[in-house]
Amino acid sequence: MIIHFHFHSRATGITRTVESIVPILNKYSGSFVFGYGIKAPKISWISLLRLIYSDRKLVIHTHRNIEILFALFLRKMRGKFKLIFTRHSDGKPAKLSCLLMKKADHLVTLNSTMAENIPYPNTLIKHGVNIDIFKIHKKQKIANIHQKNLISIIGRIRPPKGQIVVLRALTAILRNNSDWGLVMIGKIDDKKYAEEIMSMASENGIASQVYIMPESNKIIDYYFASNIIVIASFTEGFSLVCLEAMACGLITVATESVGIHSKVINHGENGFLFPKNDHEYLRKILTDIISGKINLDPDKIRQTVIDKWSLERSVKDLLKLYEISQVN
């Protein structure tokens, strides 16, 4: 039996990952989520207690410090299970994080930088995406967005995500292309930063082409409405958006050497890379795409994910770690 903990009220990349993984894990073994803020088969508190005090082999997989803390509390109460922790940030972990990770039976990392920054043995298991959900789709519209063509940024509204870099790159382009819009989808973490973005749009006469949309549980709708996805992050633990966008066959422009961007994207072949915080380089790429000077084959973009980054591949690697043959 495999139980993923999820203690978070908002939908995040971790949420989408767990929501995707659990149904596929269920093909091989019972798999549920204990917690809240997620759409997945759930297990109750009473059922969880019964499991941890039974003779049944159990894996508890955690993703956040609060989740591993709770798992360690259950272990302190003599609960019996194997404890897995996935690190989702590629920065150097704080002392508390290190202390907690040290107590897990197995650590999972998502990229080589993350693996190197953790001072304990770990297993690198790449995320994957559900290619049956994230797929090439007929273009659709989003209510209250008036432009025919959209450049989208998916992620929390805060400086490290680089939304303002994208806006700087697009100011002249949007002024000269009224049928193009810039859409930012995510929770506003920094209100002043969001205000700065809209103020810059107003000053450049493109406010009617720039949108900040709230975080959405139906993020797939925004992929289906977009022409281009830009990921301007200065740092990423992984970058699930990159895989989701490419699985949808979308032209994806991302910061090089951040998260998995440079491992997935071959510049000019299945997407584009640019140096972080370099809006001029980004402007040139977007100008060439929007003008039609360069174009990419959606099927070729998607094939990259199918070949190397599918969710099935990721789940099989997890199953090896869980030693699923012994977890009945």
249-269 confidence digits (pLDDT tens): 999 999 999 988 999 999 999
**DSSP sequence for 40-77:** S-B--HHHHHHHHTSSS--EEEE-SHHHHHHHHHHHHT
User: What stretches of the chain show up as alpha helix (H) in DSSP?
Assistant: 13-25, 45-52, 65-76, 95-102, 112-117, 163-175, 191-203, 219-225, 240-247, 261-264, 279-291, 298-308, 311-322
Rounded-to-integer distance, Cα 279 and Cα 173, Å = 12
The CATH architecture of the domain made up of 149-308 is 3-Layer(aba) Sandwich (3.40)
- Determine the Cα–Cα distance for residues 40 and 30; give it in Å rounded to an integer: 13
* Model pLDDT, residue 92: 86
Please check the confidence at residue 10 and state whether its pLDDT lies above 90: no
How confident is the prediction for the chain on average, in pLDDT?
A: 92
Provide the pLDDT confidence category of residue 325 given band limits of 50, 70 and 90. very low
DSSP class of residue 270? T
Enter the tokens of residue 314: 């990721």
Closest by Cα among 171, 203, 197 to 184: 197
The CATH number for 2-128+310-326, chosen from 3.40.50.2300, 3.40.50.2000, 3.30.460.10, 3.30.700.30, is: 3.40.50.2000
DSSP 5-23: EEE-SS--HHHHHHHHHHH
- Mean pLDDT in residue range 213-229: 93
Q: How far is CA 68 from CA 62, 64, 93, 201, in A?
A: 6, 6, 15, 42
Question: CATH 3.40.50.2000 spans which residues of the chain?
Answer: 2-128+310-326, 149-308
Assess whether pLDDT exceeds 60 at residue 76. yes
Question: For residue 90, is pLDDT > 80?
Answer: no
- pTM given for the model: 0.82
Question: In which band, very low, low, confident or very high, does the pLDDT at 326 lie, cut at 50, 70 and 90?
Answer: low
Q: C-alpha 317: how far from its chain's center?
A: 19
For 120, the 3-state DSSP assignment is coil
pLDDT at 299 over 50: yes
Report pLDDT digits (tens) over 228-247.
Answer: 999 999 988 788 899 999 99
The lowest-confidence range among 22-26, 169-173, 200-204 is: 22-26
Cα–Cα distances (Å) from 324 to 2, 19, 31, in that order, read 9, 19, 11
The three-class DSSP label of residue 82 is: strand
pLDDT at 313: 85
pLDDT number for residue 327: 46
Longest CA–CA span in the chain (Å) reads 67
